[in-house]
Amino acid sequence: EAQVTQNPRYLITVTGKKLTVTCSQNMNHEYMSWYRQDPGLGLRQIYYSMNVEVTDKGDVPEGYKVSRKEKRNFPLILESPSPNQTSLYFCASSSGQAVMNTEAFFGQGTRLTVV
């Protein structure tokens, strides 16, 4: 089954404690990205990757890091989490070709609470 898998689904952590949210896709997609969803602000892109070893900032990259060492994995790293990073996070993947039938697939989300 084609899917994007995120882990963990829920996470409560303390300010300053480094954490990683993993994302894996089994569709051989080149393009992967991370979004955060906040009430009243909708979904905003954090980082994206066009392919292995190619990453770039989205709209709200501050406080986050990513890496893309393998095509299927795109972890999101919070080196020193702060309470304003409490949010619902989504990983997404799609074919890397910028064509009209490119469809995005999303993971189930990770609800992060930073206290």
Partner 1 sequence: KQEVTQIPAALSVPEGENLVLNCSFTDSAIYNLQWFRQDPGKGLTSLLLIQSSQREQTSGRLNASLDKSSGRSTLYIAASQPGDSATYLCAVRRGATNKLIFGTGTLLAVQP
Which residues contact partner 1 by CB under 8 A?
31, 33, 35, 40-43, 45, 48, 50, 56, 58, 88, 90, 92, 94, 96, 98-109, 111
**Residue 85 or 110 with smaller CB distance to partner 1:** 110
Short-list 15, 3, 40, CA closest to 112:
15
**Residue 15 or 102 with smaller CB distance to partner 1:** 102
HSE-CB of 93 using CA atoms within 13 angstroms: 23
CB of 41 to partner 1, least distance (A): 8
**Residue 5 or 80 with smaller CB distance to partner 1:** 5
Contacts of 95 (CB under 8 A, 6+ apart): 29, 30, 31, 102, 103
CB of 70 to partner 1, least distance (A): 19
- Amino acid code (one letter) for 48: Y
Asked if residue 81 lies in contact with residue 15, where contact means CB atoms within 8 angstroms, the answer is: yes
CB of 22 to partner 1, least distance (A): 15
